[in-house]
Chain A
């Protein structure tokens, strides 16, 4: 681990870029998925169409998506925006379905009770349905977080720098310390994001802990 001791500043910088490239898409993806998922639930005809489209997007391999982004966005191939947009696409592809299913799983009688008490439209969504769907949405977000962190490292092959650089450089120059550090840093980052999501979900759903946390 002498390699890490000598290079910890670089590692930290790269980890921050990595966090940015994997984390921003998580937040943006979630914000985009909420209305889309809600729409898929609200208009049940749109559900299969939305699920099929997002499923298709999710099928496209990440390296391919990274390479195609400049053609679609008109950006340069080295532009980190390509990676952020591609990762957002993946996050949305994964979360729309999760959000729709999470909202659909809210029992009918609860929705009806809320409506009967005068909850309506957006207030019912924000006050009743969304909180109850939090555990399901959080589960989807955790999967997205772990996969995002892994995928982002591939962007090093296009010259967008983050922790993946350690992997590529460590391999090219056969520096085991660097390679292993890169892997461990990625895993740590994934676990950290996971922890944040789990904690956030717990804070948002205090009632589940009272019942003995069946989430």
Chain B
């Protein structure tokens, strides 16, 4: 557990980067610091490993005051992913990953094994291990940065915009892998981003900072979206926050209707008006067809309309609504965990379900 207690940082020259910050990052959870550029996120993070000394207030780590701990020791016990990558250009990828174990005096074979293991863990091909950072793409470099921070298996991770230098698709991928990894490792993570979507997706708890380094609100993502504490937070979480909030609401029992289907490669047996759902041999939906277009031919993949998204049975309301809205027939496809068809649902039915879930939540608190 990391605890900020009335922490203030004033830089020489007068800039107050962080003011009177009190915040707890619980053990084993992801706490995200989010806010506009220059609001003091990096400063807050760097005070934890004492790269920056607080002007006032204290930071404790599992109840121990960090200002009394040995600096180098403290830092070796915390994984730190810095904002601009910061890989060592003169060391290979494997040597970069093995930096902290080497500082801790592990023997060579153990470092080697651990580095290789982490390379794989963060989804990099083994042959990249012998390359130098300049020979990697931005996304690969960020993975190496994460691997280096994880190398000595520290209980605490400080991550400063680790996924910022990549395109949205790769970022999404990195975020998913990061969540999977955290599911296995259960670290105490302080994560900085200026991207509210990333904050909401990754955070068990999200702290919104405003410029001047003052905490505007700290809450679970769903609560933050539903109950922004003030105009600043409301503005910051964005206009479509209502829609985004749906991603935290599990689909309640939706009134699923059974859907007539046709198996790919077969002919329509009876005349059917409107859109017909095509499934494969395992009843997994593959797309929609309009029967009058194919007449009595067999359905081939070329006939398919693939526009719609698919939602899972126990997924979020957001996914269900999206499936309905994106389906050419207006009926959203819902599948079970194995991907087989459960049934379909229409948008208005999802909306009704949403109405049914509208009871105020009592989690998190405005700061």
Query: When A and B assemble into the complex, do they touch directly, with CB atoms less than 8 Å apart?
Result: no
Residues of A with Cβ closer than 8 Å to B? none
